[in-house]
A and B are shown apart, each in its own frame.
Chain A
């Protein structure tokens, strides 16, 4: 839960939160009142390429939101902005109502210093398409590294938790293996455990099965399905696995050219989309 005292009481416009319209946002931290993630007029450019041009959207606490859309539409960029792997060029990104990367001081849009970002970043975890495990460490060392050095857990405590997580992702017997001795699917399951070991409130998943052999994809999706069922972590995921998106998410956002084209519950989005662009996209994805 947020423990910041400098959080904005004014949450501005909220698009499509689960609880519907809230005209007045109270200062107490009622579950769902403040979105877990909020983008306000976020701009992101790479040189002349404007990827996000004033994007607004929010994700309620505990929501499972899937981003779909053609390649290059800006889905990865959104997750990377949330993980501070990219810097925005305008607008605000709020986590639990707290400005995360930039804020307005008077009229001026200023960067929030790393020290304050770190506090907020602790609530966000990410799993990458290419796993990005640390090859100089064992499986266990990968998982306890951040709990010990960021959350300041004792090593014993971190190991106990890591072993639970390894059990959960079915990797207990690889505990002391070096990561290059593991298959892609195994590496990704360790990467999921590593992200969960930080007890994130928000988990970002960027095409986490795209680099895997088809027969392994189901294992990893199974692990994620279980996490979705057994935790209340807010999830923002990009995936081409439409069946999976349908099972785990309660909202789907269709992106094109950095804009939300359509937004619906998965049932509606996948069976009865409104927009022509969505129909085309789904037809193309489901065709192969």
Chain B
């Protein structure tokens, strides 16, 4: 133990653990975001499909997921699934599904923003429905959703510490664990904050630039 507030030796000592944790954090965010991006699009398309037998239950599930806390969902899913699946996989899945419900709204808005004239031109050219989606509507809609996707990626990244609750050793858990063993919390937690900032801030600048370019 030492009595100064900040100890560089501790900081250096914990850094490898934190970087290891950061790797898990980034993996969880990237995998979670891929799931959210794909599943979100599927939800958006299903909700447009028209048939109420499909859209009503889907909407119920989407609302349910959005109205309950991520932490509760994580713990609940881990209780059900963890013996069968590694905690990180469960965490990525829950993050992905949770954010898919938000991404579906972003896609919906992106699809709605494609001008009616685009659909009409596709009809005038007799393009089949599927081809109209793939070649005309989705490329324009997805372009509209890129900033939203970036913003949710940052927000998901910042929520990965919840994975702590299901024993995934991401960056925050690594800091906690180090603190519990050495009784030094200041250095690990400060560095966790700085590392989060080091990733989030440049990403948010990138997203902002993308928003400006697409506007």
Which A residues form the contact surface with B (CB < 8 A)? 83-85, 118, 121-122, 124-126, 128, 130, 132-137, 145-146, 149-150, 194-195, 198
Contact = CB atoms under 8 A, between A and B. Distances in A.
B118 A134 contact: yes
B23 interface: no
B123 interface: yes
Contacts of A134: 118, 121, 135-136
Nearest to A122: B126
Interface string B56-92: 0000000000000000000000000000000000000
Interface string B97-140: 00000000000000000010110110111111001000110011
A83 B136 contact: no
Interface residues of B, number: 17
A123 to B, nearest CB: 9
Contacts of B127: 145-146, 149-150
B124 A145 contact: no
From A122, A137, A146, name the one whose CB has the most chain B CB atoms within 10 angstroms: A146
A132 B117 contact: yes
B143 interface: yes
A145 B117 contact: no
Interface string B6-33: 0000000000000000000000000000
A136 B117 contact: no
Main secondary structure of the interface of B (DSSP, over half): helix
Given A118-B126, A132-B118, A134-B121, A149 B143 contact: no
Contact of B120 (A85, A118, A149, A150): A85
Contacts of A128: 117, 120-121, 124
B140 A194 contact: no
Interface string B124-165: 111110010001100110010000000000000000000000
A149 B126 CA distance: 9
19 contacts: A83-B120, A83-B123, A118-B126, A121-B126, A128-B117, A128-B124, A132-B117, A133-B121, A134-B118, A134-B121, A137-B135, A145-B125, A145-B127, A145-B135, A146-B126, A149-B127, A149-B128, A194-B125, A198-B125
Contacts of A150: 125-128
Contacts of A145: 125, 127, 135
A195 B124 contact: yes
Contacts of A130: 117
Contacts of B120: 83, 85, 128, 132
Contacts of A136: 136, 139-140, 143
Contacts of A125: 124-125
